[in-house]
Structure 1
Amino acid sequence: MNKTIKAVFTSAAAVLAVIVCTFFIIRQTHEDVLSKEAVVKKIEASYEGEVTKATQSKDKKTYDITLENPKGTYFIKADAKSADILSMNRVKAVNSSSMTEKEAEHLALKRVPGTVKKQTEQNRVAAYIIQKEDGETYEVKVDMEAKAVMSADQISSKDQQKTRITKKEAKTIAERETGGTADDADLEEHEGTLIFEVDVDLPDDKEATVKINAYTGKVANIVYED
């Protein structure tokens, strides 16, 4: 009888010991696991981009991370205890090719048809000062990475004095003054004043260039060519 009781107690003690050990192992394992916030912070500190999703596996051993950056979308599996990367795969690529200057200018002129008077570029954003035929001036900004027009704003009269005559009117004035046929008219800035320079075809295969003040419509100069 005593032997039986002793055997039962021995078995119970062994089972209890196993349970206690398992409990401490599980507890220790859980205590060693980093929080989701800690893992995300370490990933973002190590890699360019932003973590948009983070979930812990059922066995608590790893974290599944989704990272977004300019090059694409990445799926990362990280160790739950150390946040070390176990695997990293790009699941979506982003087209990194940007526009050329010529393509950006074409896009700007498509939004605001006219003549480009000035062009600058900074941080892959191209800015164009474009003057329309009616004399109105716009600043058009193009994002060369996104391949899109960011803005197209008319420059106010405080910043850019508007012309009083149009390109068509300048041609009419030139034809009236020379008796010829206006071929083309360009708006140029001369000593702070906008001038229409009109090319005129004359009889007998001769030509003339007429310069007209764009604000007043007065003829500033006529140059006849043989």
Structure 2
Amino acid sequence: MTKRMKTGAAAAAAVLAIVICAVLIIQQTHEDALSKEAVIKKVEASYEGDITKVTRSNDKKTYDMTLENPKGIYFLKADAKSGDILSMNRVKETNTADMTEKEAEQLALVRVPGTVKKHTRKHGVASYTIQKNNGETYEVKVDMKTKAVVSADKISSKDKQKTTISEKEAKAIAEREAGGKADDADLEESEGTLLFEVDVDLPNDKEAKVKINAYTGKVSNIIYED
């Protein structure tokens, strides 16, 4: 074999070795990659929402994924080996505006028709105390984000004692309205509505009885006595 032939054979062998190594590396890379199902499971365990589309990149190194949740649609790129998120971009924003209080009240009244006696709102949930025409009282809760009634429970006589206005607050209201010093405050029911009846001692040695709605704090009546 001539010197030139030997040199050519050595070069060919070197090229073949490089090709074999590249194939082995690529094969090993593919074998180490997580399955599509495994990557989906890992991502959904870490992020709110559902994976709706998954494709493998041409170089097989990443998974391209579409994630959808109440806040919008996101495009994610995940490492094929570890399943770690390499990038995440929101491509569409979902309208997450809460419903208005008027809309929430209307929804509550559809569930329980009647008259709203009390209304509170906490952490995106609106609570309504609604009295029906037959005198029954219900507490209806509306989630203002999901725009749905989450509960509608009848309030028993015992539960009615849990009012928004405390006895101390009722006395303060009575003193402000009648202009005297509050003495006793009794909780009573009148036509299905709870009222505080507060006795107020006036400066002219007279008395006044002040009736206050136990849910709203509004004065419904003041009777001045001799």
What TM-score range do you get, normalising by the shorter chain?
Answer: 0.5 to 0.7
Name the CA distance, whole Å, in 1 between partners of 2:60 and 2:129: 58
For residues 169-208 of structure 1, the C-alpha deviation after alignment (integer angstroms, 9 at most, x for no partner) is: xxxxxxxxxxxxxxxxxxxxx73222479xxxxxxxxxxx
- 1:11 CA displacement: 5.2
- 1:116 CA displacement: 1.5
- 1:121 CA displacement: 1.7
Tell me the SS of whatever aligns to 2:98: coil
Call closer, same or farther: CA 1:196–1:59 in 2, change over 3 Å.
Answer: closer
Contact 1:120 1:126 in 2 (8 A): yes
Call closer, same or farther: CA 1:37–1:79 in 2, change over 3 Å.
Answer: closer
Following superposition of structure 1 onto structure 2, how do residues 98-177 of structure 1 map, counting pairs within 5 Å? 98-156=98-156, 159=159
Tell me the SS of whatever aligns to 1:128: strand
For residues 3-28 of structure 1, the C-alpha deviation after alignment (integer angstroms, 9 at most, x for no partner) is: 68746743552343223331354257
- 1:50 CA displacement: 2.4
Paired residue for 1:50, among 48, 51, 74? 48
Aligned-pair RMSD on alpha carbons?
4.1
- 1:135 CA displacement: 0.5
- The equivalent of 2:189 in structure 1 is 193
Name the CA distance, whole Å, in 2 between partners of 1:10 and 1:104: 82
- 1:140 CA displacement: 0.9
Gaps of 5+ in 1: 162-189, 198-222
TM-score by length of structure 2 reads 0.55
Tell me the SS of whatever aligns to 2:74: strand
Aligned positions, number:
166
Q: Return the letter of the residue paired with 1:136.
A: E
Gaps of 5+ in 2: 162-185, 194-222
Name the CA distance, whole Å, in 2 between partners of 1:62 and 1:120: 49
For residues 102-151 of structure 1, the C-alpha deviation after alignment (integer angstroms, 9 at most, x for no partner) is: 22112212322212222222211111111111111111111111222222
